[in-house]
Amino acid sequence: MEITFLGTGAGMPAKYRNVTSIALKQLQNGAIWLFDCGEATQHQILHTSIKPRKIEKIFITHLHGDHIFGLPGLLGSRSFLSGTEPLTIYGPKGIREFIETSLSISQTHIKYDLNFIEFEDYFYLDENDFIIEARLLDHGIPSYGYRIVEKDKPGSLLVDELKQLGVKPGPHFKQLKDGETIELEDGMIINGKDFLGPAKKGRIISILGDTRPTQTSIELARNADLLIHEATFDKDSEVIAEQYYHSTTYQAAQIAFKANVKKLCITHISSRFEKHDWPLLEKQAQDIFPNTMIAEDFKKIEVKFEHERVE
Protein backbone atom coordinates (compact mmCIF):
# COMPACT_ATOMS: atom_id res chain seq x y z
CA MET A 1 0.00 0.00 0.00
CA GLU A 2 1.20 3.49 -0.80
CA ILE A 3 0.12 6.76 0.79
CA THR A 4 0.34 10.04 -1.16
CA PHE A 5 -0.32 13.33 0.61
CA LEU A 6 -2.23 15.61 -1.76
CA GLY A 7 -2.73 18.30 0.84
CA THR A 8 -1.27 18.72 4.32
CA GLY A 9 -2.39 22.13 5.51
CA ALA A 10 -5.08 23.29 7.93
CA GLY A 11 -7.95 25.67 7.36
CA MET A 12 -7.00 27.30 4.09
CA PRO A 13 -4.47 26.80 1.28
CA ALA A 14 -0.98 28.14 1.90
CA LYS A 15 1.99 28.70 -0.38
CA TYR A 16 3.55 25.30 0.29
CA ARG A 17 0.59 23.33 1.63
CA ASN A 18 -2.80 22.72 0.12
CA VAL A 19 -5.70 21.73 2.36
CA THR A 20 -6.28 18.16 3.38
CA SER A 21 -6.46 15.12 1.13
CA ILE A 22 -4.73 11.75 1.37
CA ALA A 23 -4.67 9.03 -1.30
CA LEU A 24 -4.20 5.36 -0.44
CA LYS A 25 -3.18 3.24 -3.42
CA GLN A 26 -3.39 -0.53 -3.39
CA LEU A 27 -0.31 -1.52 -5.33
CA GLN A 28 -1.62 -4.98 -6.24
CA ASN A 29 -4.57 -3.68 -8.28
CA GLY A 30 -4.07 0.08 -8.59
CA ALA A 31 -7.32 0.94 -6.79
CA ILE A 32 -7.27 4.30 -5.02
CA TRP A 33 -9.12 5.45 -1.92
CA LEU A 34 -9.20 9.12 -0.95
CA PHE A 35 -9.42 10.34 2.62
CA ASP A 36 -10.87 13.86 2.56
CA CYS A 37 -10.94 16.10 -0.47
CA GLY A 38 -10.15 19.71 0.30
CA GLU A 39 -10.33 22.56 -2.19
CA ALA A 40 -8.15 22.05 -5.31
CA THR A 41 -7.48 18.38 -4.62
CA GLN A 42 -7.96 17.69 -8.32
CA HIS A 43 -5.27 20.29 -9.11
CA GLN A 44 -2.91 18.44 -6.77
CA ILE A 45 -3.72 15.15 -8.49
CA LEU A 46 -2.46 16.64 -11.78
CA HIS A 47 1.06 16.61 -10.30
CA THR A 48 0.89 12.88 -9.53
CA SER A 49 0.33 9.63 -11.39
CA ILE A 50 -3.11 9.20 -9.80
CA LYS A 51 -5.95 8.67 -12.26
CA PRO A 52 -9.32 10.02 -11.02
CA ARG A 53 -11.15 7.15 -12.71
CA LYS A 54 -9.21 4.73 -10.46
CA ILE A 55 -10.67 6.33 -7.33
CA GLU A 56 -13.18 3.80 -5.99
CA LYS A 57 -13.94 5.13 -2.52
CA ILE A 58 -13.75 8.48 -0.76
CA PHE A 59 -13.79 8.56 3.03
CA ILE A 60 -14.61 11.90 4.67
CA THR A 61 -13.50 12.57 8.24
CA HIS A 62 -15.76 15.59 8.83
CA LEU A 63 -17.67 18.33 7.03
CA HIS A 64 -15.44 21.36 7.53
CA GLY A 65 -14.74 23.05 4.22
CA ASP A 66 -11.01 22.39 4.16
CA HIS A 67 -11.85 18.69 4.00
CA ILE A 68 -14.75 18.65 1.47
CA PHE A 69 -14.74 21.71 -0.80
CA GLY A 70 -12.81 19.84 -3.50
CA LEU A 71 -15.44 17.13 -3.90
CA PRO A 72 -17.88 18.61 -6.47
CA GLY A 73 -15.13 19.52 -8.92
CA LEU A 74 -13.34 16.20 -8.59
CA LEU A 75 -16.54 14.23 -9.08
CA GLY A 76 -17.39 16.19 -12.22
CA SER A 77 -13.90 15.86 -13.67
CA ARG A 78 -13.88 12.12 -13.01
CA SER A 79 -16.87 11.86 -15.35
CA PHE A 80 -15.22 14.07 -18.00
CA LEU A 81 -12.14 11.84 -17.82
CA SER A 82 -14.08 8.71 -18.82
CA GLY A 83 -14.66 7.50 -15.30
CA THR A 84 -17.54 5.05 -15.58
CA GLU A 85 -17.00 2.71 -12.63
CA PRO A 86 -19.16 3.28 -9.52
CA LEU A 87 -17.78 5.43 -6.70
CA THR A 88 -18.84 5.31 -3.07
CA ILE A 89 -18.50 8.18 -0.62
CA TYR A 90 -18.45 7.39 3.10
CA GLY A 91 -18.82 10.07 5.72
CA PRO A 92 -20.82 11.86 8.41
CA LYS A 93 -24.51 12.58 7.95
CA GLY A 94 -24.83 15.58 5.62
CA ILE A 95 -22.18 14.66 3.05
CA ARG A 96 -24.83 13.39 0.64
CA GLU A 97 -26.84 16.61 0.83
CA PHE A 98 -23.72 18.73 0.29
CA ILE A 99 -22.68 16.85 -2.84
CA GLU A 100 -26.11 16.41 -4.37
CA THR A 101 -26.95 20.08 -3.84
CA SER A 102 -23.63 21.20 -5.36
CA LEU A 103 -24.03 18.97 -8.41
CA SER A 104 -27.70 19.90 -8.88
CA ILE A 105 -27.29 23.69 -8.65
CA SER A 106 -24.25 23.64 -10.97
CA GLN A 107 -26.05 21.23 -13.33
CA THR A 108 -23.09 18.88 -13.19
CA HIS A 109 -24.05 15.51 -14.67
CA ILE A 110 -21.92 12.48 -13.95
CA LYS A 111 -21.82 9.27 -15.99
CA TYR A 112 -21.24 6.79 -13.20
CA ASP A 113 -23.15 5.51 -10.19
CA LEU A 114 -22.44 7.63 -7.13
CA ASN A 115 -23.29 5.91 -3.85
CA PHE A 116 -23.35 7.30 -0.34
CA ILE A 117 -22.93 5.66 3.05
CA GLU A 118 -23.54 8.11 5.89
CA PHE A 119 -23.03 7.24 9.53
CA GLU A 120 -23.21 8.60 13.04
CA ASP A 121 -20.99 7.59 15.96
CA TYR A 122 -19.62 4.39 14.40
CA PHE A 123 -18.99 2.73 11.04
CA TYR A 124 -17.72 -0.75 10.12
CA LEU A 125 -17.05 -2.22 6.68
CA ASP A 126 -15.76 -5.74 5.94
CA GLU A 127 -15.05 -5.89 2.23
CA ASN A 128 -12.72 -8.15 0.27
CA ASP A 129 -9.19 -7.79 1.68
CA PHE A 130 -9.88 -5.02 4.19
CA ILE A 131 -11.80 -4.11 7.31
CA ILE A 132 -12.45 -0.38 7.76
CA GLU A 133 -13.64 1.03 11.04
CA ALA A 134 -14.56 4.65 11.83
CA ARG A 135 -15.16 6.09 15.28
CA LEU A 136 -16.11 9.49 16.59
CA LEU A 137 -13.30 11.75 17.80
CA ASP A 138 -13.41 15.10 19.66
CA HIS A 139 -13.78 18.12 17.37
CA GLY A 140 -16.07 21.14 16.99
CA ILE A 141 -18.35 19.14 14.68
CA PRO A 142 -18.58 15.33 14.34
CA SER A 143 -15.15 14.19 13.17
CA TYR A 144 -14.05 10.61 12.66
CA GLY A 145 -10.89 8.57 12.63
CA TYR A 146 -10.48 5.63 10.27
CA ARG A 147 -8.66 2.38 10.97
CA ILE A 148 -7.86 0.37 7.83
CA VAL A 149 -6.91 -3.23 8.57
CA GLU A 150 -5.67 -5.47 5.79
CA LYS A 151 -6.62 -9.10 6.27
CA ASP A 152 -3.74 -11.54 6.75
CA LYS A 153 -2.20 -12.92 3.56
CA PRO A 154 -1.36 -16.63 3.04
CA GLY A 155 2.32 -17.50 3.10
CA SER A 156 4.34 -18.29 0.00
CA LEU A 157 3.97 -21.70 -1.61
CA LEU A 158 6.87 -24.02 -0.73
CA VAL A 159 7.68 -24.78 -4.34
CA ASP A 160 10.94 -26.68 -3.79
CA GLU A 161 9.29 -29.13 -1.38
CA LEU A 162 6.46 -29.76 -3.82
CA LYS A 163 8.86 -30.40 -6.70
CA GLN A 164 10.65 -32.99 -4.58
CA LEU A 165 7.31 -34.80 -4.29
CA GLY A 166 6.90 -34.70 -8.05
CA VAL A 167 4.32 -31.91 -8.23
CA LYS A 168 4.89 -29.98 -11.44
CA PRO A 169 4.23 -26.24 -11.89
CA GLY A 170 0.80 -25.54 -13.30
CA PRO A 171 -2.82 -25.72 -12.13
CA HIS A 172 -1.88 -27.81 -9.08
CA PHE A 173 0.29 -25.00 -7.75
CA LYS A 174 -2.62 -22.55 -7.77
CA GLN A 175 -4.92 -25.05 -6.09
CA LEU A 176 -2.37 -25.68 -3.36
CA LYS A 177 -1.70 -21.95 -2.96
CA ASP A 178 -5.43 -21.55 -2.32
CA GLY A 179 -5.20 -24.16 0.44
CA GLU A 180 -6.98 -26.90 -1.48
CA THR A 181 -6.25 -30.64 -1.32
CA ILE A 182 -5.18 -32.45 -4.50
CA GLU A 183 -4.56 -36.06 -5.51
CA LEU A 184 -1.55 -36.91 -7.67
CA GLU A 185 -1.54 -39.57 -10.37
CA ASP A 186 0.14 -42.04 -8.00
CA GLY A 187 -2.66 -41.56 -5.48
CA MET A 188 -0.71 -39.32 -3.10
CA ILE A 189 -2.93 -36.80 -1.32
CA ILE A 190 -1.43 -33.36 -0.71
CA ASN A 191 -3.03 -30.67 1.46
CA GLY A 192 -2.04 -27.20 0.28
CA LYS A 193 -2.12 -25.83 3.83
CA ASP A 194 0.85 -28.07 4.65
CA PHE A 195 2.97 -26.41 1.97
CA LEU A 196 2.55 -22.74 2.75
CA GLY A 197 5.18 -20.65 4.45
CA PRO A 198 4.46 -18.32 7.39
CA ALA A 199 1.42 -16.10 6.84
CA LYS A 200 1.96 -12.39 6.28
CA LYS A 201 0.18 -10.33 8.89
CA GLY A 202 -2.00 -7.66 7.31
CA ARG A 203 -0.91 -4.05 7.52
CA ILE A 204 -2.76 -1.41 9.54
CA ILE A 205 -3.10 2.26 8.67
CA SER A 206 -4.88 4.76 10.91
CA ILE A 207 -5.97 8.10 9.47
CA LEU A 208 -7.53 10.40 12.04
CA GLY A 209 -9.58 13.50 11.35
CA ASP A 210 -9.29 16.77 13.26
CA THR A 211 -9.43 16.12 16.98
CA ARG A 212 -8.30 16.86 20.47
CA PRO A 213 -6.35 13.97 22.05
CA THR A 214 -8.74 11.16 22.99
CA GLN A 215 -8.68 7.58 24.18
CA THR A 216 -10.53 6.69 20.97
CA SER A 217 -7.54 7.93 18.98
CA ILE A 218 -5.31 5.48 20.83
CA GLU A 219 -7.72 2.63 20.19
CA LEU A 220 -7.99 3.39 16.47
CA ALA A 221 -4.21 3.58 16.18
CA ARG A 222 -3.36 0.52 18.29
CA ASN A 223 -0.34 -1.34 16.77
CA ALA A 224 -0.73 0.46 13.43
CA ASP A 225 2.06 0.29 10.88
CA LEU A 226 1.35 3.95 10.11
CA LEU A 227 -0.57 6.57 12.08
CA ILE A 228 -1.48 9.80 10.30
CA HIS A 229 -2.42 12.35 12.96
CA GLU A 230 -3.12 16.05 12.80
CA ALA A 231 -0.67 18.43 14.47
CA THR A 232 -2.21 21.81 13.74
CA PHE A 233 -0.26 23.54 16.49
CA ASP A 234 3.20 23.37 18.04
CA LYS A 235 4.05 22.02 21.48
CA ASP A 236 3.70 25.41 23.21
CA SER A 237 0.18 26.07 21.86
CA GLU A 238 -1.72 23.49 23.87
CA VAL A 239 -4.23 26.02 25.24
CA ILE A 240 -5.23 27.34 21.82
CA ALA A 241 -5.28 23.80 20.43
CA GLU A 242 -7.77 22.87 23.16
CA GLN A 243 -9.92 25.89 22.37
CA TYR A 244 -10.07 25.05 18.66
CA TYR A 245 -10.49 21.27 19.12
CA HIS A 246 -7.11 20.38 17.62
CA SER A 247 -3.87 18.67 18.66
CA THR A 248 -0.26 19.73 19.02
CA THR A 249 2.87 18.00 17.76
CA TYR A 250 3.56 16.79 21.28
CA GLN A 251 0.06 15.39 21.76
CA ALA A 252 0.12 13.54 18.42
CA ALA A 253 3.39 11.92 19.44
CA GLN A 254 1.93 10.89 22.80
CA ILE A 255 -0.94 9.15 20.99
CA ALA A 256 1.55 7.31 18.77
CA PHE A 257 3.61 6.21 21.78
CA LYS A 258 0.61 5.01 23.79
CA ALA A 259 -0.83 3.15 20.79
CA ASN A 260 2.46 1.36 20.06
CA VAL A 261 2.45 2.35 16.39
CA LYS A 262 5.43 1.75 14.15
CA LYS A 263 5.51 5.10 12.38
CA LEU A 264 3.84 8.47 12.91
CA CYS A 265 3.26 11.09 10.24
CA ILE A 266 1.99 14.47 11.45
CA THR A 267 -0.09 16.57 9.07
CA HIS A 268 -2.78 19.31 8.96
CA ILE A 269 -0.14 21.95 9.73
CA SER A 270 -1.33 25.48 10.42
CA SER A 271 -0.38 28.12 7.83
CA ARG A 272 1.08 30.18 10.68
CA PHE A 273 4.15 27.94 10.44
CA GLU A 274 6.58 28.85 7.65
CA LYS A 275 8.68 26.29 5.83
CA HIS A 276 11.67 26.95 8.08
CA ASP A 277 9.50 25.99 11.08
CA TRP A 278 8.74 22.48 9.84
CA PRO A 279 11.93 20.79 11.14
CA LEU A 280 11.19 22.17 14.61
CA LEU A 281 7.64 20.78 14.53
CA GLU A 282 8.99 17.40 13.48
CA LYS A 283 11.63 17.48 16.21
CA GLN A 284 9.03 18.28 18.89
CA ALA A 285 7.17 15.09 18.02
CA GLN A 286 10.37 13.06 17.67
CA ASP A 287 11.35 13.95 21.23
CA ILE A 288 8.41 11.79 22.35
CA PHE A 289 8.13 9.37 19.43
CA PRO A 290 11.39 9.12 17.44
CA ASN A 291 9.94 7.44 14.34
CA THR A 292 8.01 10.56 13.32
CA MET A 293 7.99 12.43 10.04
CA ILE A 294 6.17 15.59 9.04
CA ALA A 295 3.97 15.37 5.96
CA GLU A 296 4.52 17.58 2.94
CA ASP A 297 2.39 17.89 -0.16
CA PHE A 298 3.19 15.02 -2.58
CA LYS A 299 5.17 13.05 0.01
CA LYS A 300 4.75 9.30 -0.50
CA ILE A 301 4.97 6.57 2.12
CA GLU A 302 4.95 2.90 1.14
CA VAL A 303 3.63 0.66 3.90
CA LYS A 304 5.32 -2.69 3.43
CA PHE A 305 4.89 -6.10 4.99
CA GLU A 306 7.30 -6.12 7.92
CA HIS A 307 6.18 -9.05 10.03
CA GLU A 308 5.38 -12.67 9.34
CA ARG A 309 3.38 -14.93 11.56
CA VAL A 310 3.65 -18.68 11.96
CA GLU A 311 0.18 -20.24 12.02
Q: Which residues are catalytic?
A: 66
Give the span between the Cα atoms of 213 and 253, in whole angstroms: 10
- Give one DSSP letter per residue of 76-87, joined into a string: HHHHHTT--S-E
Cross-strand bridge partners of residue 248: 233
Give the span between the Cα atoms of 3 and 102, in whole angstroms: 28
> Chain-centre distance of CA 213, in angstroms?
20
**Non-local CB neighbours of 271 within 8 Å, separated by 6+ positions:** 9, 10, 11, 12, 14, 17
- Long-range contact pairs involving 45-51 (C-beta distance under 8 Å, separation at least 24): 45/6, 45/74, 47/298, 48/4, 48/6, 48/23, 48/298, 50/4, 50/23, 50/25, 51/81
